[in-house]
Amino acid sequence: MNKTWVLITDAERARCFERHATEHTLKELAAFVHPHASPQSEAGKGHGRTGHAGTQFEPQTEVHAKERANFARELANYVNEGVAEDRCHALVLIATSPMLGELRTHLSHEAEKWVLASIASDLTHYSGHELEIRVNDGLSGC
């Protein structure tokens, strides 16, 4: 039986489901949480080009982009392992727009071949039957 994995993610949390083809139900396989680095950890006071007399701050957007890339890499590794170990035979990626692009760049060549659909949407706040309905609606056009 072909197993389809559905990965639903934003920049801070993700859930991976197995979607059963006949009844379109979702069985949760894994959940991930990746809180952003605290502003003090990377975007704090620095002495870079300003010397010791002033302060220098790293732009917040760069910190968020780095954290998103790290989380995307973690999720892609999970999916890549699932494909390599033959635990899934198709992939559906549902993610916020920036995360979707980042995630796709970290997928292995083999995993990329199994992607049935990539949907730019944030479904991370839904669960149960409501989530199943929204996933089915998103896949109806595919």
Domain boundaries, the chain: 4-139
Distance of CA 10 to the CA centre of its chain: 6
CATH fold of 4-139 reads Nucleotidyltransferase; domain 5 (3.30.420)
The confidence score (pLDDT) of residue 6 equals 97
- Contact at 8 Å (CB) between 53 and 22? no
Say how many residues make up the chain.
Answer: 142
Tell me the pLDDT of the chain (142 aa) as tens digits: 579 999 999 999 999 999 987 888 999 999 999 876 444 444 444 444 555 555 666 566 688 888 999 999 999 999 999 999 999 999 999 999 999 999 999 999 999 999 999 999 999 999 999 999 999 998 886 6
